[in-house]
Structure 1
């Protein structure tokens, strides 16, 4: 390409880069691991721009040129942002399952009153819930699982080309299914703590029935907490393995990968 041809094509290339960044950048801002609140916005912005530089030469022939009307350009950019948030949001929902499971475990073992700030849920969370959020980010980054949502983003251009219409109805249905999958996984991970809580409470009820003069709650509460923490230490590796496997399977069905 000569310099004159490049100058003529520059407006289209600039607009196409903006379209790419709208989808990729919006997703990177909320993707698990890469888009954590602890990651500075400048780094997330740099990641989005780096992805644009990588995929622009490949996808440029399939991207629309600069439209004549500003309203049409704004519509295209808005649709791309929504698509990026949709794909990134589905990936984020499934990754929240570990935090949900640990939040439930904290309530079951008597640690619900120990609250810390957790940017992942936007409000105060239990200490175990915060541990679950950090553990999920570490698992995604250390295991290289972040490559699956990124690949889904790039491959989504074959499923939903830039400039096309966004299937809002199907997207809402898939988002609801992702939320249901997250809750199901969270409950599955929290299952051992549910069983432990039931057994402990049954034992306490029997003790209170046999010896009503004993303040069972105050005596057994520290023991229940220790038992819950011991169960977490014992089941930590299987829980991480189950969560990792569920992430791989769940993210394999993201738009663009299935």
Structure 2
């Protein structure tokens, strides 16, 4: 693409394309993290925009109304980029949620470290699951899937002044709800095991009053929790592919619904 030959309308459309791309790179999992230098994000957004811009088509009606609806189109492109990026992040949120629930059930909620992926303090188990999810995401070319979805977004959601309806935001919230439910299901093996252990310890405490159930449960819960984690790890890795598939389906369903 010969950038210096763009006319005024083409330059504005290029800027709108770059805005959506930049918003996506802000919310993009793995590559949108805070530890990645800002110049790298900017150059990456520019490079992808140069590759994508020649392939996109814009409705004639949107071009004719460009002067009147430019601000609305800018806001729309920012929202589309952010929503696509955060929908992709739902894949990681599911595992972060599972890790947090497991840590609380094992009594490790106070052992927290700073998690740059979430921008807040998180437990060691959540950090472990997020690391596994990031490695799985990259090894299965999840970033290629996201780029493909971004390119398709310009075909499914061309640059225009058509605004969102309330239903689209409701669908986004439902997708987040489903991901949270997946996180609870992923943590179910450890949760159920520790529930059974606590039930048994409760009965033992009534049977043997001399036993300090509170102190004993700390060590037993941690031991049982890590044992179940190791046993269920292969199953957990198998579920990652299913969660990635669910996330990609939710992403394309959201784009087609707008």
TM-score with structure 1 length normalisation?
0.88
1:203 aligns with 2:200: yes
1:193 aligns with 2:190: yes
Task: Tell me the number of residue pairs that the alignment of Structure 1 and Structure 2 aligns.
Answer: 254
Please report how far the alpha carbon of residue 208 of structure 1 lies from its aligned counterpart in structure 2 after TM superposition: 0.6
Query: For 1:21, which of 18, 26, 30 is the aligned residue?
Result: 18
Give the Cα separation in 2 of the matches to 1:199 and 1:178: 31
Please report how far the alpha carbon of residue 8 of structure 1 lies from its aligned counterpart in structure 2 after TM superposition: 6.1
Contact 2:72 2:161 in 1 (8 A): no
Contact 1:33 1:138 in 2 (8 A): no
Please report how far the alpha carbon of residue 16 of structure 1 lies from its aligned counterpart in structure 2 after TM superposition: 1.9
Please report how far the alpha carbon of residue 76 of structure 1 lies from its aligned counterpart in structure 2 after TM superposition: 1.7
Contact 1:104 1:190 in 2 (8 A): yes
The 5 Å alignment of 1:214-229 reads 214-229=211-226
1:169 aligns with 2:166: yes
The 5 Å alignment of 1:1-258 reads 9-59=6-56, 65=63, 69=67, 72-255=69-252, 256=255
Distance 1:241 1:27, change over 3 A: same
Contact 2:194 2:224 in 1 (8 A): no
Give the Cα separation in 1 of the matches to 2:245 and 2:30: 14
Structure 1 segments unaligned to the other structure (5+ residues): none
Please report how far the alpha carbon of residue 81 of structure 1 lies from its aligned counterpart in structure 2 after TM superposition: 0.6
Structure 2 segments unaligned to the other structure (5+ residues): none
Give the Cα separation in 2 of the matches to 1:121 and 1:8: 42
TM-score with structure 2 length normalisation?
0.88
What is the SS of the residue equivalent to 1:252? Answer: helix
Superposed CA RMSD in Å reads: 2.5
